[in-house]
Amino acid sequence: MTRFLTALVAVIFLVSFSQLLAQERPAYVLTEVTIHDRIAYQEYEAEFMPIVERYGGELIAVTDDPTVLEGGWSEMRVVLMRFETRRHALDWYNSPEYQQLAVIRRATATGTDLLINGRR
């Protein structure tokens, strides 16, 4: 009976552990941007969130006035978004609707987008 219970506990542990490993981590997109034409950029802003939400993304933070704790800072705005997985983030970024909208962003602003793996 003891062997059976030990084996049962081992199987339950291995199944639970494999399920934990199978869970994908969330992904974050960090955008640093300097807006050069605020009026034209408003069209990008108006259509941005519905596309992000369609791919399971959520806006975590956005600011035009970050507090620099260390180092230099030349960008104007910081945006932090969370996606359920890295695949969701890439699907959003590479989607035809976002790439069409990104044409406006590239014409009105300069910046950097980073894709960061989150923790489980």
Question: Residue for token digits 């199987």?
Answer: 11
Which has the higher per-residue pLDDT, 11 or 104?
104
| Separation of alpha carbons 110 and 79, rounded Å | 13
Q: What is the CATH number of domain 24-117?
A: 3.30.70.100
What phi and psi values does residue 119 have, to the nearest 5 degrees?
Answer: -105, 155
Which has the higher per-residue pLDDT, 101 or 120?
101
Q: Is the pLDDT of residue 12 over 60?
A: no
| 3-class DSSP assignment, residue 11 | helix
Question: Residue for token digits 């003891």?
Answer: 2
pTM for the complete prediction? 0.77
For 73-118, the pLDDT digits (tens) are 887 899 999 999 999 999 999 999 999 999 999 999 999 999 999 9
Give me the chain's average pLDDT, please: 85
Question: Residue for token digits 């695949």?
Answer: 87
Which DSSP category does 68 fall into?
Answer: P
Mean pLDDT calculated for residue range 49-69? 95
| Separation of alpha carbons 66 and 69, rounded Å | 9
Question: Residue for token digits 């199978």?
Answer: 22
Which DSSP category does 25 fall into?
Answer: P
> Are residues 74 and 34 in contact, defined by beta-carbon separation less than 8 angstroms?
yes
